[in-house]
Structure 1
Amino acid sequence: MSKPKISIIMPVYQVEKYVAKAIESIQKQTLSDWEFLIVDDGSLDNSGKICDEYAKNDSRIHVIHKENGGAPSARNVAIDIATGKYLYFMDSDDWAEPTMLEDMYCMAEKNCSQLVVAGFYIDTYYNDAEKYTQQQYSEDKVFYSKRDFRKEAYRFFDKNLLYTPWNKLYLASYIQTNKFYFPQTFWDDFPFNLSVIRDVERVSMTSKCYYHFIRQRSESETAKYRRNMYEKREEEHRWMLDLYNYWDVHNEASKEFLARRYVERIVGCVENVTNSSCNLSVAEKKASIRKMIKNPYAALAARLAKPKSRYMQLMVLPIKWKNIQLTYLEGCTISKVKSKNIKLFAKLKANR
């Protein structure tokens, strides 16, 4: 029996409202030679049963039931048993356009690519009624050497194309031979992809968008305070610096991108700590902000960064000045906008 062209891997947990649409979007693909490895990660709702019903009627669908261990462990289980030439990772509350797999497969075969990267949609729903859609994509481009890809990688990071797995097709032998797995971390997608691109040579980029990443937002939503967010962002930044040092890429464009990326995430951390759901005292919030903006790299990054939007240019100024009070007030203002008008906040954030 011949191996399928693509192994689709999808972890499932408590998504009974959405998983049918995800599965059916794969069944509607114009490329039909695939296996669908669905890993039910100990769902307590009807998600697992729904997946089993689809598997009964489609021999290409295989459902693995396991104890809850998180999405990384679910994906890793499937990586070990996948038989397709290529791997595709999907989230169970999203969906894909019908030509996605065929187009990405053809591109991989034509260019002998180890990795294919496509654009994607971000569909944000407000109260299940209003939808706001953004597109993230880059130009069509094919890389055949590590050097060429590394030199231009900052542009694809800048467009958020290299962080997630669901806009990519991976050569299975490259993943399995090198034993690339999803780590049990807060942002498991990111370090996985950093491992993949660390020594990748042949990469195809397509400007076409296929995948719909779904965000559900309530008009009254106030984002939850995320404890240790700053520490996680610092760790994430160290990963990026390690990658670029390993690559020995230090051109001005890459340095500016790394600085801007860092400052934008510091702004996000300020927004987080000034959020109304954060129960720290005002003094504690200001102490947290002091820790962020007194970091030697923060001032350097603020000087090197060239923010693209007027909004971000304004947000960076008090960080550049190391002004704790002004940074705190800006964070409070943005947090208030976030709680009162989530749509406006989403658009401001999208245009950073």
Structure 2
Amino acid sequence: MEKLISVIVPVYNIEDYLPRCVDSLLAQTYQNLEIILVDDGSVDTSGVICDGYAKKDARIKVVHKKNGGLSDARNAGMDVATGKYIGFVDGDDWIDQDMYRSMYEACEKEQAQIAVCRYKQIRTSSGETFVPEIDASTGNSVLLSKTRALEAYLCEDEQYVIYNSVWSKLFLAEMVKDMRFPVGKNSEDIMFTTKAFCKMERLAYLNAPYYNYVLDREGSIMNEKVGQRRLRDEIPFWQEQISHLAKEGMTELSDKAAYRFYRRLLFYYIDFMENKDTRGFAGEIIKELKKEKENIVRIYKKDYVATGDKVRMKLVLAFPFAYYCAVKGYDKYVIPLRAKA
């Protein structure tokens, strides 16, 4: 008998997007679903839309609550979920009709505690759909061990592309039932995914983009105050990830996660320097790098650290603005020359 999947959908002021999302869930070829719509204090007609769907289909449950943010809404959904598996869909996105059947069957076939799929990026401003290149040679699903899956996730593997997002995954409920998202924070998926991966034994990887992610919806959390979000939420979560892996006894993976974190800080620095309104944040990134200098020196002696990364890190630690100028010069002169060659 097919097991129940609880799908948690946070809803906040998305009346123009919500019907498309819910309709995509009702159209799933896997029908044994518990669809939990969490109205997070919406002030538009989103709550009414939720109630209307609940009257039409008994699989839909609606939770109305005061506004507490995305994490709080997901937690409220987890509190009432009864499924054997738990999935998440953001209310302004939608999914392909075979998503949950494919992920469920992969978990059951591989005896995996988590299934992961890829996604399509939808740009609402232009109507453009960006579909990542998919290599279908891996077949329907591939079984990855805990260590291999963590390696792919932390090191941004090109063969097995695994994102932080919980909406690209299906979780065995008993494994995550005691976990909750940190309320009042953005980028909350980083630690939920990391902790879940540390608990699992096996992961089923599906090399197919079943999820449709709306990239630039006006009013979306991801579009708000990127500088503050990176400093207040993302950086502390990346640091917590590194610490958590070390506490779990995964020293090498912790160091590799730190390496990726330091590379990410270099990207943040250049990104902030590009705009005069965010250059103050660039200074904060340099402070963070210098604070981590001792650990950076240790990790950058590892064999897996690219030579170019070693050079870039030495330059930015000694002369941050010179590093910025070097990057801009490379982009302006070297890349066009290589394109012509």
- Identify whether the pair has TM-score above 0.5, normalized to the shorter chain: yes
- Answering whether residue 146 of structure 2 is matched by residue 149 of structure 1, we say yes
What are the superposed Cα offsets for residues 55-86 of structure 1, whole Å, 9 maximum, x if unpaired?
22112112111100111111111112112111
The aligned counterpart of 1:319 is 313
Query: Cα distance 1:278–1:272, how it changes in 2: closer, same or farther (>3 A)?
Result: farther
Query: Cα distance 1:301–1:93, how it changes in 2: closer, same or farther (>3 A)?
Result: farther
Q: Please say if residues 6 and 33 of structure 1, whose CA atoms lie closer than 8 Å, have aligned partners that are also in contact.
A: yes
The residue identity in structure 1 corresponding to 2:110 is N
What are the superposed Cα offsets for residues 234-261 of structure 1, whole Å, 9 maximum, x if unpaired?
423322322332343345xx47743542
The aligned counterpart of 1:346 is none
- Answering whether residue 34 of structure 2 is matched by residue 38 of structure 1, we say no
Q: CA deviation at 1:233?
A: 4.3
What are the superposed Cα offsets for residues 110-137 of structure 1, whole Å, 9 maximum, x if unpaired?
2332211222222334x33433332588
Structure 1: give runs of 5+ residues left out of the alignment. Answer: 338-352
Q: Distance in 1 between matches of 2:214 and 2:66?
A: 26
The residue identity in structure 2 corresponding to 1:97 is D
Q: Distance in 2 between matches of 1:162 and 1:318?
A: 26
The aligned counterpart of 1:26 is 25
Q: CA deviation at 1:23?
A: 0.7
The aligned counterpart of 1:240 is 241
Query: Cα distance 1:63–1:273, how it changes in 2: closer, same or farther (>3 A)?
Result: same
Q: CA deviation at 1:293?
A: 4.0
Q: Distance in 2 between matches of 1:152 and 1:279?
A: 35
Matches within 5 A, 1:107-126: 107-125=106-124
The aligned counterpart of 1:134 is 132
The residue identity in structure 2 corresponding to 1:153 is L
The residue identity in structure 2 corresponding to 1:216 is D
The aligned counterpart of 1:341 is none
The aligned counterpart of 2:338 is none
The residue identity in structure 1 corresponding to 2:150 is A
The aligned counterpart of 1:291 is 287
- Answering whether residue 204 of structure 2 is matched by residue 207 of structure 1, we say no
Please report the TM-score for the alignment, with normalisation by the length of structure 1: 0.76
Q: Please say if residues 186 and 234 of structure 2, whose CA atoms lie closer than 8 Å, have aligned partners that are also in contact.
A: no
The aligned counterpart of 1:61 is 60
The aligned counterpart of 2:51 is 52
Query: Cα distance 1:173–1:292, how it changes in 2: closer, same or farther (>3 A)?
Result: closer
- Answering whether residue 159 of structure 2 is matched by residue 165 of structure 1, we say no
Query: Cα distance 1:258–1:172, how it changes in 2: closer, same or farther (>3 A)?
Result: closer
Query: Cα distance 1:198–1:319, how it changes in 2: closer, same or farther (>3 A)?
Result: same
The residue identity in structure 1 corresponding to 2:19 is A
Q: Distance in 2 between matches of 1:16 and 1:332?
A: 43
Please report the TM-score for the alignment, with normalisation by the length of structure 2: 0.79
Q: In structure 2, the residue corresponding to 1:73 is in which secondary structure? A: helix
Instruction: Answer with 261-270 or 299-308: which moved more.
Output: 299-308
Query: Cα distance 1:188–1:255, how it changes in 2: closer, same or farther (>3 A)?
Result: closer
Q: Distance in 1 between matches of 2:35 and 2:175?
A: 20
The aligned counterpart of 1:188 is 188
Q: Distance in 2 between matches of 1:263 and 1:136?
A: 28
Q: Distance in 2 between matches of 1:277 and 1:15?
A: 33
What are the superposed Cα offsets for residues 28-50 of structure 1, whole Å, 9 maximum, x if unpaired?
11011111100000011121122
The residue identity in structure 2 corresponding to 1:156 is Y
Q: Distance in 2 between matches of 1:88 and 1:192?
A: 13
Q: CA deviation at 1:21?
A: 0.9
Aligned length: 315
Q: Distance in 2 between matches of 1:45 and 1:183?
A: 26
Q: Distance in 2 between matches of 1:333 and 1:94?
A: 39
Q: Distance in 1 between matches of 2:72 and 2:257?
A: 30
Query: Cα distance 1:317–1:131, how it changes in 2: closer, same or farther (>3 A)?
Result: farther
Query: Cα distance 1:260–1:133, how it changes in 2: closer, same or farther (>3 A)?
Result: farther
